[in-house]
Amino acid sequence: MTATCFACGRSPLVPVMSFGEMPLANGLLPAADLDRPEARFPLELVFCEACSLLQITESVDPEALFGEYAYFSSYSTTMLEHAAELVERLIRERGLDGDSLAMEIASNDGYLLQHYVQAGVPALGIDPARNVVEAAAERGVETICAFFGEELARELGAGGRRAAVLHANNVLAHVPDVNGVVAGIAQVLAPDGVAVIETPYVRDFVERTEFDTVYHEHLFYYSLTALDRLFARNGLRIVDAERLAIHGGSLRVFAVRYDSAEKQRPAVGELLDEEERLAIAEAAYFEDFAARVEALREELLALLHDLKEQGHRIAAYGAAAKGATLLNAFGIGLDVLDFVADRSEHKQGLYMPGVRLPIVAPEQLLEAMPDEVLLLAWNFADEILEQQAEYRRRGGRFIVPIPQPRLV
């Protein structure tokens, strides 16, 4: 266990939950590797009372996690619509035009920045994964293949590339040097620029028992209180905050440089006050989390085993990282599930880490017609249920596991 907090360097850290040794959640396996042992790392969830940041203890080499990346954002219709709506709003509210620069760190396959390009606003992506950078280039999105930090921010600023708007969606959870990334954002923002940051919200994580969000890529789990302290240390000031439904509950914050004249909206203070009333910055807020995860495990396994005893065939949908956590933490493998269906062609033909379940195309659901499908990508439930309307029309049912198992 790390002795100190990754973000503020303080200790000790309060234990919240242990998952034991776990494989990398996005470490999908080719058939040739099925007979080889997988790398496993401790997965321990802890809380820092000094800066109120929930985190894990183990930082895996970022190149191993992100050099080649299995997740392509554009395979989710929900993500594309979410991005298009936000871009349209920012162009309108910030008056962005051909003289502005929209930037995104961890820009993936250009799913968001492509909307700026189409609107005539110059865009620049930054992402360390070679395969998704290639996909972004095919969309006409200029992308630097690199990890973002203070050094790259200084180089961009020296070259006159400062962001009128900078996006950081679902990335602040991933970076060990989170102070360097936030300081880099402050450096690369234009004087009147804004950083728009989205991250899963720790309150939803706790209240909905979203334990499967914990995996080695996700080092941090943020409250607004934790973000406010992190940003203040590194030259940014939060001026607005919004709660979002996406990904099971997310927080979107708008941050500006400390010397910006932009005023803070009331929503920031209101949400900070709400978190103070909930004692979200105290370790006691998390003390029963592990027990609730164990209760969820027992309930889901009882449902699955009851269905199997009735002779039902069960598959799963969504070869997502959260699915890898759920399957491995709960011990759900080939004795329960026949396969995992996934829309991404980049995942089909591979196998889930740890449990070694084969990943197939969604069409296999109609060919095999399992009685039930465990929805691992439950954060996109509405989208997937709509896509699989024919499977459901033929009598197939989905099991949504979070926040409590239910049949749909």
Amino acid (1-letter code) at residue 286: F
Reference 404, options 211, 200, 202, 203; nearest CA is 211
- Listing DSSP states for 285-315 in one string gives GGTTHHHHHHHHHHHHHHHHHHHHHTT--EE
Write down the pTM of the prediction: 0.90
Question: Between these two residues, 76 and 309, which has the higher pLDDT value?
Answer: 309
How confident is the model over 275-303, as pLDDT tens digits?
999 999 999 999 999 999 999 999 999 99
Structure tokens, 284: 């006691």
| 264 secondary structure, DSSP code | P
Q: What are phi and psi of 359, to 5 degrees?
A: -105, 125
Q: Do domains 66-286 and 299-407 have the same CATH topology?
A: yes
Lowest mean pLDDT among 12-21, 61-70, 176-185, 263-272: 61-70
pLDDT at 75: 61
pLDDT at 64: 64
pLDDT at 270: 98
221 Cβ contact list (under 8 Å, min separation 6): 53, 54, 55, 173, 200, 202, 205, 213, 214
Lowest mean pLDDT among 246-255, 261-270, 322-331, 364-373: 246-255
pLDDT at 1: 47
pLDDT at 129: 87
Q: What percent of the chain has pLDDT over 70?
A: 96
Is the pLDDT assigned to residue 73 strictly greater than 70? no
| 321 secondary structure, DSSP code | H
How confident is the model over 235-268, as pLDDT tens digits?
999 999 999 988 889 999 999 999 999 999 999 9
- Rounded mean pLDDT of the chain? 94
Q: How far apart are alpha carbons 375 and 341 in whole angstroms?
A: 10
Q: What are phi and psi of 43, to 5 degrees?
A: -125, 95
Could you please state the CATH topology (level 3) that the domain comprising 299-407 is classified under: Rossmann fold (3.40.50)
Instruction: List the chain domain ranges.
Output: 66-286, 299-407
168, β-bridge pairs = 197
Burial of 220 (0-12, 13-18, 19+ CB in 10 A): buried
Q: How far apart are alpha carbons 111 and 132 in whole angstroms?
A: 10
Is the pLDDT assigned to residue 69 strictly greater than 70? no
How confident is the model over 331-350, as pLDDT tens digits?
999 999 999 999 999 899 99
Q: How far apart are alpha carbons 396 and 365 in whole angstroms?
A: 9
| 106 secondary structure, DSSP code | S
Number of Cβ within 10 Å of residue 31's Cβ equals: 11
Q: How far apart are alpha carbons 397 and 297 in whole angstroms?
A: 20
Instruction: State the pLDDT confidence band at 154, using cuts at 50, 70 and 90.
Output: very high
Please give the class, per CATH, of domain 66-286. alpha beta
How confident is the model over 112-138, as pLDDT tens digits?
999 999 999 999 999 988 888 999 999
Edge to edge, the sheet with strand 220-221 lists 14-23, 40-48, 53-56, 220-221
